[in-house]
Amino acid sequence: MNRIDRKFKELKTKRKKAFIAFITAGDPDLATTEKLVLGFEQAGVDVVELGVPFSDPLADGPTIQAASQRALGNKTNLEKIFEAVKRIRRRSSVPIALMTYYNPVFRYGEARFISRAKQCGVDGVIIPDLPPEEALDLRRAAQEAKIATVFFVAPTTTALRMKRIVAAATGFVYYVSMTGVTGTNKGFAKENAAKIRAAKRMTQKPVCVGFGVTTPADVRSIAKIADGVIVGSAIVRKIARNQGNKNLVRNVTAFVRTLTREL
């Protein structure tokens, strides 16, 4: 059982919901990323998603696009992120998933990517532009290495697709709360509740909700129906506002604490 599965099992026995925090690795630099991850763990974050910056992040809104640009600006790449995770692992066992677009993984080599991820203590991988049907090789390699492959369900996903997606997903199922890019705040639509329940009826795997989750109130209302809440852009926006501030880690962690408190 890997760290993500173990965490969800533990939360389930405690009847608690997971808080999943996303940040872009290397924004503003990898040393800060490492400190943030350790701080987040103390602040009650259950799983950390580390974004691998990509030049053309087409599922992301302006906030994460800008973070990716900052990270690429200081030459962050997959190899350096693996090294950072390895350093984090000496001090923490918080579950870590890499969130990346497919091309950097494809270019690195899927088998090599998975084995290096394993070696460095990465627990899962989330690739928004790789639907399960194009992910056969990656899924096979990940399964062998006990690395979770998280897949998405969207408001537009049909029942038939949903069945296939929840079957393919490991670790957890990522439910996209609205049709749009990351960081769009359209408000949490009522129709989502029925769809999330439908997903939960199809699988024992945890179903977590992300995209546009911004406020403590959002966190509270989603936690009522889902197994976990994912917050990305709202945290990344805090990091953006604290660029150059020596208290960045403290300020961002304090913000994260206002969200985890809701669970």
Partner 1 sequence: MSLPDRHGHFGEFGGKYVPETLMALLDDLEKVFRSVKSDRAFQREFNDYLKEYAGRPTNLYYAQRLSAHLSRLKVYLKREDLLHTGAHKINNTLGQVLIAKRMGKTRIIAETGAGQHGVATATAAALMGLACVVYMGAEDMKRQALNVDRMRLLGADVIPVTSGSRTLKDAMNEAIRDWVANVGNTFYVIGSVAGPHPYPVMVRDFQSCIGKEARRQFLSKEKKLPDYVVACVGGGSNAMGLFHAFTKDRRVKMIGVEAAGFGLNTSQHAAPLAKGDIGVLHGSKSKLLDTKDGQIRIAHSIAAGLDYPGVGPEHSYLKKIGRAEYVSVTDREALSGLRLLAQQEGIIPALETAHAVAYLEKLARRVNRKSTVIVCLSGRGDKDMESIKPHIGS
Give the residue numbers annotated as catalytic, written as ranges: 49, 60
Footprint of partner 1 on 127-156 (CB under 8 A) = 128-131, 133-134, 151-156
CB of 43 to partner 1, least distance (A): 29
Q: How far from 148 is each of 43, 97, 104, 145, 261, CA to CA, in Å? A: 24, 8, 18, 9, 27
* 18: β partners: 228
Which residues have CB under 8 Å from 125's CB, separation 6+? 97, 98, 99, 100, 105, 113, 114, 117, 138, 142, 147, 148, 149, 150
Using CB under 8 A, which of the segments 2-10, 32-40, 58-66, 215-223 binds partner 1? Answer: 58-66
Asked if residue 22 binds partner 1 (CB under 8 A), the reply is no
Residue with tokens 């925090």: 21
Residue 122 binds partner 1, judged by CB under 8 A: no
Here's the x/- map for partner 1, 82-121, by CB under 8 A: it reads as --------------------xxxxxxx-------------
The least distance separating partner 1 from the CB of residue 97, rounded to whole angstroms, comes to 17
Minimal distance, residue 107 CB to partner 1, in Å: 3
Distances (CA, A) of 115 to 141, 146, 171: 8, 10, 18
Report 154-193 residues binding partner 1 (CB under 8 A): 154-158, 161, 165, 176, 179-181, 184
226 binds partner 1 (CB under 8 A): no
* Upstream peptide bond of 28 is cis (omega within 30 degrees of 0): yes
Q: Which is nearer to partner 1, 20 or 259 (CB)?
A: 20
Residues in 62-81 that interact with partner 1 by CB under 8 A = 65, 72, 77-78
24 or 157: whose CB is closer to partner 1?
157
DSSP 8-state class, residue 207: E
Q: How far is the CB of 112 from partner 1 (least distance, A)?
A: 12
Nearest to 27 by CA among 60, 2, 58: 60
Any bridge partners for residue 20, and if so which?
Answer: 47, 230
Cβ of residue 174: shortest distance to partner 1, in angstroms?
9
Residue ranges binding partner 1 (CB under 8 A): 54-59, 61, 65, 72, 77-78, 102-108, 128-131, 133-134, 151-158, 161, 165, 176, 179-181, 184
